[in-house]
Amino acid sequence: MAGFRYEALEAHLRQKIQTGRFKAGEKLPSVRTLCQQHTLSKATVIHALQRLETEQLVYAIPKSGYFVTQPSVHRHRPEKVSTPSLPTQVNVPELFRDIMSRSAAFDILPTEGGAPASKHLQTLNRMISRAARSQPEQKANYYDEPSGQQGLRQAIVELYRQRDTALDADNLCITAGCQHALFLALMATCQMGDTVAVESPAFYGVLQQIEQMGLDVIEISSDPTTGIDLNELEEKTKRYPIKACVVTPNFNTPTGSKMSTNDMKQLVSIAKTNSFYIIEDDIYGELRFRNELCAPLKAFDHDQRVILCGSFSKCLSRELRIGWISGGHLQQKIIQLKLITQLASPRATQQGLTEFITTGHFKRYISQQRQLLKNQRDEWLNEISANWGDLVRFSRPNGGLSCWVELPSHIDTQQSYKALIQEGIVLTPGALFSAQSLYKNHMRLSFSQPLTEHRRTALHLLFNTLLSAS
Amino acid sequence: MAGFRYEALEAHLRQKIQTGRFKAGEKLPSVRTLCQQHTLSKATVIHALQRLETEQLVYAIPKSGYFVTQPSVHRHRPEKVSTPSLPTQVNVPELFRDIMSRSAAFDILPTEGGAPASKHLQTLNRMISRAARSQPEQKANYYDEPSGQQGLRQAIVELYRQRDTALDADNLCITAGCQHALFLALMATCQMGDTVAVESPAFYGVLQQIEQMGLDVIEISSDPTTGIDLNELEEKTKRYPIKACVVTPNFNTPTGSKMSTNDMKQLVSIAKTNSFYIIEDDIYGELRFRNELCAPLKAFDHDQRVILCGSFSKCLSRELRIGWISGGHLQQKIIQLKLITQLASPRATQQGLTEFITTGHFKRYISQQRQLLKNQRDEWLNEISANWGDLVRFSRPNGGLSCWVELPSHIDTQQSYKALIQEGIVLTPGALFSAQSLYKNHMRLSFSQPLTEHRRTALHLLFNTLLSAS
């Protein structure tokens, strides 16, 4: 049976790469050449190339073309040496506080500072300031309505409409960021002693919430490219009384994995069959690098099983402290929980942000950001690939802010944390992303900052420190 | 044994009032006249008058003098009529959401809007905007440190130093308002099923937190003038395993009560003896109308038993969403809980606020506010006293934003809530302030807004509706 036309090209190129006809680092024929050679449309060729990119057989360099990836096998992996069982120097809650005190480690070298401010961010600040100046007496004397400003909720609904997702502004509540939204979602669905399933590796912020709330956690293996293992989830729902499952279908942190549409539909169906809630972390949903909608799980939720959580922190500014939550029939409870945790949100921030979105600034800004982040992803991963490609594996996400790096198995990334901090370098150890001390030889690495010369030096010091550890 | 000199004058004046020599509404001799008649210093005379004011035997009208209060007895109290047991029209959680959606009911007529903005508030907005414009790229890309900005923490420490209270900036954490601080304090001290003692009547925000967190609550009777009944608290600590006691020593909402220094010391001592924590809500601490320091309980805490919570929401602006918490040896846990609930606070707001405090604007603003609120208290209470003084009792707080009104016992204030909302009038029913459905014939009334003609009309409609209910 004939498959899709892109599949033939994909198989052809894969075979050439795997047999060494195209060598590591070599440039593939251009899109135009491939169109001519195989009599295919440009869209079909690009689709095939993007699939190979997802498989990490090739990578793209903007305005240049597709290149063959360094093989991600541990050809020269050092022998495993038995290490004395050293006491762990920092425990995970301490590490979490320390990482957060260093701005959450989306920058290995925070002293380097952020890239120059986009003019869009300056516009956003102007809009918020203007909103603060209007009716200051009202803002000082009255709290905002519990769900937040109607205008902002409608603007968020419109952002989701562009991702083929119908939300209701009356079923949306503004929060103080995604962490706050996730906390409300867990409070709304679970009580002390309940069991929560998470992807593994999982976002440390959620693991810390689960621990502090006295919940039990079940880790479900997740593929760094395609996300949560649904067979394992289904099997574990039979053994454990899972009340909620926290998942980031679009560009999970730390791996950057993205679930397929089919998997998303199946996950919603498993939740329905087994009567648990899905808490969807959509904080990276707008940071997609390819021309795809990246609809959230919520788009496939016909049974009010999905509680959607998001925020402008990663796609716009961490300073805003503005997120959202949409929880279906749990919404009244969620609003109650927002009230008990912080009463209300600042109106000027919401009003300025609404103006920023509705006047098209957000759309223009995010489109620049996507390109910028994609380029930075390639810069960082090419640097790693070129220098340590035979010793480490890493994910190559098509969205989000970070990738997942696996080092030789004898290395414990957490052991090097303190030594690197002395050099001003912040490493995000894999241990943060598990409740069971998994991922000792992993780390999250963010490409959210440009690879400046100082950061390149820091990256080399980081890898050299890790790889020289015995 | 001779008492203090002010005591003789106080007794003399009390006797004249109680025997009807000074009649309700009559002006007392001026301070100057009393000095001459009794050969006393001005300070002594004022002290005696203020004590009578606390007893509510007299009230002050600025620049005019002291007047005899309407006797607060129910001379013409309507006969208790048996009412059919009507279903309650709104339950307390719904009422809480509804009240919050109407800006927390510190205004019976929210459509009237706030008083014109003080120039200080405009200055505050300017300072925050300026802070937002500085290093926007840093603010967008990095989270603030978990405890909040050091400068703001130091400024708050200085505000407490002026109240004879030594805090440590390193033991202070910035929160998203006092509600957030109280939530962190309860999370840090209690687990589901634990027992919390509260003043009765109590702040509804805390009662809602206790309910949502699955805690048990013990209400301790509180005097509308002098606060929590320590004998009852001590007795109940013997019968119930109290983990924490939430108390507002300075100007409790709803009553406006203020604990004496002796009582505060005794409360800390009871907490120490019985090994429970005190969660101190100090949100009204800066809103003191008389020349007294109003030190918080924390000032007498030598055993790290007191978790101090406060905010700029009531004394400056609800828009800021900036509060604080100081929790002694629980501080690391509290910071962890701040992280899991919202990661960080906005830096521009903190920086602008720090500048506002350190340049003396806060001091000037709060001093104006105190005078303004004191005058408004008198305006509102005189209106009530003049019109319904023979039917109701009310507290006359020396700080805060509201007083507690007791209506004839057959009246259920909650029953009139919906009818009044139709008229745009927000009543804050007494039932909100108890977990046991006490205070059906009470309401909280705020004097935080000027008694404009519209508000006067609304107040009359409110009382007429309540008092005509059968």
| DSSP output for B37-97 | HHT--HHHHHHHHHHHHHTTSEEEETTTEEEEPPP-S-TTPPPP-PPP-PPPSS-HHHHHH
CB A193 within 8 A of CB A216: yes
Q: Which of B317, B306, B117, B280 is nearest to B203 (CA)?
A: B280
Taking only residues 303 to 322 of chain A, the set having a beta carbon closer than 8 angstroms to any beta carbon of chain B reads 316-321
Q: Which CATH number fits domain B5-68: 1.10.10.10, 3.50.50.60, 3.30.70.600, 3.90.1150.10?
A: 1.10.10.10
Task: Judge: B142–A101 Cβ closer than 8 Å, yes or no.
Answer: no
* Rg for chain B, CA atoms, rounded: 23
Long-range contacts of residues A414-418, Cβ cutoff 8 Å, at least 24 apart = A414/A88, A414/A89, A414/A90, A414/A95, A414/A440, A415/A86, A415/A88, A415/A89, A415/A469, A416/A465, A416/A466, A416/A469, A417/A89, A417/A90, A417/A95, A418/A89, A418/A90
Q: Which of A182-186, B41-45, B90-94, B190-194 has the lowest mean pLDDT?
A: B90-94
CB B95 within 8 A of CB B431: yes
Locate the chain B residue with the closest alpha carbon to A344.
B321
The identity of residue B380, as a single letter, is W
For the segment B230-236, the average pLDDT, to the nearest whole number, is 95
CB B418 within 8 A of CB B439: no
Please give the DSSP secondary-structure letter assigned to residue A399.
B
> Å from A102 to nearest chain B CA?
7
Structure tokens at B455: 């508000």
For the segment B281-299, the average pLDDT, to the nearest whole number, is 96
Is the pLDDT confidence value at B302 over 60? yes
pLDDT band at B8 (very low <50, low <70, confident <90, very high): confident
Task: Judge: A339–B129 Cβ closer than 8 Å, yes or no.
Answer: no
Task: Judge: A143–B341 Cβ closer than 8 Å, yes or no.
Answer: no
DSSP element (H, E) containing B145: none
Asked if B170 has any chain A CB less than 8 Å from its own CB, the reply is no
Task: Judge: A448–B141 Cβ closer than 8 Å, yes or no.
Answer: yes
Q: What gap in Å lies between CA B313 and CA B320, rounded to an integer?
A: 7
Is the pLDDT confidence value at B129 over 70? yes
To which residue do tokens 């959202």 refer?
A324
Asked if B111 has any chain A CB less than 8 Å from its own CB, the reply is no
> Å from B70 to nearest chain A CA?
31
Structure tokens at A64: 């240049």
- Give the closest of A145, A179, A208 to B101, CB-based: A145
> Å from A306 to nearest chain B CA?
20
Task: Judge: B321–A345 Cβ closer than 8 Å, yes or no.
Answer: yes
Q: B347-376: per-residue pLDDT in tens?
A: 999 999 999 999 999 999 999 999 999 999
Q: For the domain bounded by A92-117+364-468, which CATH number is listed? A: 3.90.1150.10
Q: Which of A243, A283, A290, A254 is nearest to A50 (CA)?
A: A290
- In this predicted complex, what is the ipTM? 0.80
> Å from B96 to nearest chain A CA?
8
> Å from B113 to nearest chain A CA?
6
Task: Judge: A336–B104 Cβ closer than 8 Å, yes or no.
Answer: no
Q: What gap in Å lies between CA A247 and CA A199, rounded to an integer?
A: 6
Q: What gap in Å lies between CA A61 and CA A127, rounded to an integer?
A: 36
Measure the CA angle with vertex A379, ends A375 and A384; round to 5°: 145
Please tell us whether the domain made up of B92-116+365-468 is placed in CATH 3.40.630.40.
no
CB atoms within 10 A of CB A62: 9
Give me the residue spans of the domains in chain B.
5-68, 92-116+365-468, 119-362
- Give the closest of B136, B336, B341 to A180, CB-based: B341
Q: Which of B287, B212, B304 is nearest to B248 (CA)?
A: B287
- DSSP for A250-319 reads BS-TTT--B--HHHHHHHHHHHHHTT-EEEEE-TTTT-B-SS-----GGGG-SSS-EEEEEESTTTT-TT
Burial class (CB in 10 A: 0-12, 13-18, 19+), A425: buried
- Which residue in B130, B139, B246, B339 has the most chain A C-beta atoms within 10 A of its own C-beta, making it the best mutation to test that interface? B339
The identity of residue B377, as a single letter, is R
* Rg for chain A, CA atoms, rounded: 23
CB B464 within 8 A of CB B423: no
Q: Which of A135, A172, A124, A121 is nearest to A151 (CA)?
A: A172
Locate the chain A residue with the closest alpha carbon to B176.
A342
- Give the closest of A129, A141, A318 to B141, CB-based: A318
- Give the closest of A104, A140, A192 to B191, CB-based: A192
- Which residue in A316, A339, A449 has the most chain B C-beta atoms within 10 A of its own C-beta, making it the best mutation to test that interface? A339
> Å from A261 to nearest chain B CA?
30
Q: pLDDT by residue for chain A (470 residues), tens digit each?
A: 446 778 888 888 888 887 777 887 788 888 888 888 888 888 888 888 888 887 778 877 777 788 887 654 332 222 222 223 333 334 677 888 888 887 767 899 988 887 777 899 999 999 999 999 888 888 888 888 899 999 999 999 999 999 999 999 999 999 999 999 999 999 999 999 899 999 999 999 999 999 989 999 999 999 999 999 999 999 999 999 999 999 999 999 999 999 999 999 999 999 999 999 999 999 999 999 998 999 999 999 999 999 999 999 999 999 999 999 999 899 999 999 999 999 899 999 999 999 999 999 999 999 999 999 999 999 999 999 999 998 999 999 999 999 999 999 999 999 999 899 999 999 999 999 998 888 999 999 999 999 999 999 999 999 999 998 76
CB-side exposure of A402: number of CA atoms within 13 Å?
A: 22
Q: What gap in Å lies between CA B241 and CA B225, rounded to an integer?
A: 28
Q: Which of A328-337, B135-144, B259-268, B405-414 has the lowest mean pLDDT?
A: B135-144
Range among A208-222, B108-122, B262-276, B412-426 with highest mean pLDDT value: B262-276
- What backbone phi and psi angles, to 5 degrees, belong to B393? -115, 155
- Give the closest of B128, B180, B349 to A341, CB-based: B180
The percentage of residues in chain B with a pLDDT greater than 90, rounded to a whole number, is 68
Task: Judge: A140–B192 Cβ closer than 8 Å, yes or no.
Answer: no
Q: What is the longest distance spanned by two Cα atoms in chain A?
A: 72
Q: Per residue in B278-317, is it b (16+ CB within 10 Å) or e — as a string? A: bbbbbbbbbbbbeeeebbbbbbbbeeebbbbbbbbbbbbb
- Which residue in B107, B122, B141 has the most chain A C-beta atoms within 10 A of its own C-beta, making it the best mutation to test that interface? B141
Is the pLDDT confidence value at B462 over 80? yes
What's the length of chain B? 470
User: Which chain B residues are within 8 Å of A118, Cβ to Cβ?
Assistant: 137
Q: Which of A93, A54, A424, A422 is nearest to A255 (CA)?
A: A54
Into which CATH architecture does domain A119-362 fall?
3-Layer(aba) Sandwich (3.40)
| Beta-carbon contacts of residue A210 (< 8 Å; ≥ 6 apart) | A186, A196, A198, A216, A217, A435
CB A205 within 8 A of CB A355: no
Measure the CA angle with vertex B20, ends B14 and B24; round to 5°: 90
CA B110 remoteness from chain centre: 20
Q: What gap in Å lies between CA B446 and CA B380, rounded to an integer?
A: 9
What's the length of chain A? 470
Q: How confident is the model at residue A71, as a pLDDT?
A: 54
Q: B138-152: per-residue pLDDT in tens?
A: 888 888 889 999 999
User: Which chain A residues are within 8 Å of B121, Cβ to Cβ?
Assistant: 136-137, 140
Locate the chain A residue with the closest alpha carbon to B214.
A191
Structure tokens at A454: 């100082």
In which region does residue B442 sit, left (phi positive, over 0), alpha (psi from -120 to 50) or beta (all else)? beta
User: Which chain A residues are within 8 Å of B253, Cβ to Cβ?
Assistant: none
Q: How many CB pairs under 8 A join A and B?
A: 223
